[in-house]
Amino acid sequence: MKINLHEATWDAEEIQAVVDVLKSTRVTSGDKVREMEALFGPYAVMCNSGSSANLLAIAALANPVNQRLKPGDGVIVSALSWSTTVWPLVQYGLVPIIVDCDPNTLNIDPEQIKAALTNNSYPRIKAIMPVHVYGNPCDMVAIMDIAKNNDLLVIEDCCEALGADVGNHGDMSTYSFYFSHHITTLEGGMVVAKNNDDLDLLRVLRAHGWTREMENPPHYEGLDPKFTFINAGYNLRASEVNAAIGLIQFRKLETFVELRRKNAHILKTIFSVRPVRMQLDYGSSYFGFCLVTGRPLRKHFDAAGIETRPIICGNIARQPAMKLWEHQVVGDLRHADEVMQRGFAIPCHQSLTDGDLDYIRASVRDFYGD
């Protein structure tokens, strides 16, 4: 028996949509990308990954056009996060201020955010970048209250939490459509801003620094308006193929999340009388099902064919690459360390069958000897 952490979410409809795009020969970013963006609101910019979405958001906020973030500024992030939440910060000369997670929600702990802000030894702190861990929304009421009282930007990393009530609070929010996520465009992501100025800047930075995708591009005498460059930029565009898949996938999102929540309810009953800690649910869309209990159970699952993985990448502060970059650590990060040492995720996706769940239940009973 093999139960994978993730299963493909597409079927013949998405495959036909890809074929139709290829037959049209209009495959680079175009109308379908714009249609996909419209699903996320008037200020959304689709790109080629969730990691690129994080990069674009930070690139826009740190850009000389407005420079709301400047080299040397501190940005508070949770120790329990993904690498490409942190890398855009150091790539733009910002200093990650790493704080501990709440052991019950696994999300960034608002009290640790306050602790960072009251410690004068840290660089000037200008932003918070919360991650909604495994689909579970952070306490955004508390975070936004802290941000308002301290004049901080907020960038919501929603890459694991599509389908939950997230992305509505901060200055920018980011999403991922990677293969293993709630819906997929194979590779893909989205940045959502709050105004037209940020929208234009994100579009400029997404594609080479040129003006052609701006709402009202400036005119420069003697320059071709389709090949005028006003900023540094990348090529982070999504293709029409990505968007064609995403437009169909988005219609399935609500059903997928309902199935994940149903499966999570059953998994909770399986583990409810066991000596394990489960991530408290505050409206999670369940990217996976998180347990903190120890390596023996994880090894048992792996041996039984129930695929597991670490929760995000554990404590980002303990990853070797962090030694290369300036950063600050708030406190001892003991909760994130515990998650790294004893935590793991198991499947909770939309394709789990009753037989799969029965097999997990039987494996748990086998492990505990009953």
Range of the domain at 350: 253-368
| 184 and 86 in a common domain | yes
213-233 pLDDT per residue, tens: 998 999 999 999 999 999 999
Confidence (pLDDT) at 1: 86
User: Is 182 a known active-site residue?
Assistant: no
For residue 347, how many other CB atoms are within 10 A of its CB?
24
Query: What pLDDT sits at residue 221?
Result: 95
- Is 187 in the same domain as 287? no
Q: Are residue 271 and residue 238 in the same domain, yes or no?
A: no
**324 and 235 part of one domain:** no
Return the closest-CA partner of residue 177 out of 327, 10, 340.
10
pLDDT at 350: 97
Q: Are residues 128 and 116 in contact, defined by beta-carbon separation less than 8 angstroms? A: no
* pLDDT on residue 121: 81
Q: What is the pLDDT of residue 123?
A: 81
Catalytic: which of 6, 181, 335, 349?
181
Adjacency order of strands within the sheet including 289-292: 277-278, 289-292, 343-346
* DSSP summary character for residue 322: G
What is the structure's pLDDT at 360?
A: 98
- The answer to whether residue 4 sits within a structural domain is no
Give the residue from 191, 218, 247 where a domain finishes.
Answer: 247
The domain that contains 360 carries what CATH number?
3.90.1150.10
Q: CA–CA distance from 104 to each of 45, 132, 136, 279, 316 (Å)?
A: 33, 13, 11, 6, 18
Point out the residues of the chain with pLDDT beneath 50. Answer: none
6 within some domain: no
pTM for this predicted structure: 0.96
